[in-house]
Structure 1
């Protein structure tokens, strides 16, 4: 009975991991949160006249980035977009426990199909090819986005600064 339980657990874990890879949602958490804070603070200079700044974390995983960025400034509202329903459920639960439901929202969706026009700042830590695809989509959509922050993977369509392992792209 124990062996059967272990086998079922291994199969479920395998299917879950396979699901993540098929949908491009392999999980590796963002790191160097201190540099991310510096990148966001630097970006906030562009939004000093706004009452609210909408920050998006594309591929939000378990929500760590959203929970961190709302600590930076009371004007920031974070929207996490994640395809994995388990991570979305967990992130929503944590937002509720932390009493941040009014400032942090998690939606289940494919980041490649997400309407990015309503976001001021977009953060992503994705595979290089998907990073390029999303960057091109943001430029095509031409919404209100003025800053894109990418961990590790270079951005190339706007004016880009590098801060540690983060690339900060300014869109005019």
Structure 2
């Protein structure tokens, strides 16, 4: 007997084949992002995850504990990546004025340049691939992905958006 599970919601029943197609589509997008960001990271002698850490710190996840929680990795992983980013001049550690025992991370100008280069690569590819996709369709896709991910609101602040706006 073949096992079939179903997820039922307002659009009807999704079977295992739908889930596999969804996972394939998400993996394809992740692979595209990786193909565009990895050269930027390699150019700076860091990992793709380390480049992602720059983006996260810029967005406000400025303490190692927040990065560990968000990335769901071991503390030693974040510590190693942060040390490499500091050594490369892409991040700096700054003591918190409120509690001198707390170290905060800050993106340097060099780190911002790496982030901007990565965003330019992603933007160019995104523009080319999204021809014919309306802004409403894009926003619906984002909302759907958030709903499927269990995060109806962004889990990381978007410093490129003003608080309270979605457009």
Q: TM-score, normalised by structure 1?
A: 0.26
Say which structure is richer in helix.
2
Give 1 or 2 for the bigger CA radius of gyration: 2
Q: Higher strand fraction: Structure 1 or Structure 2?
A: 1
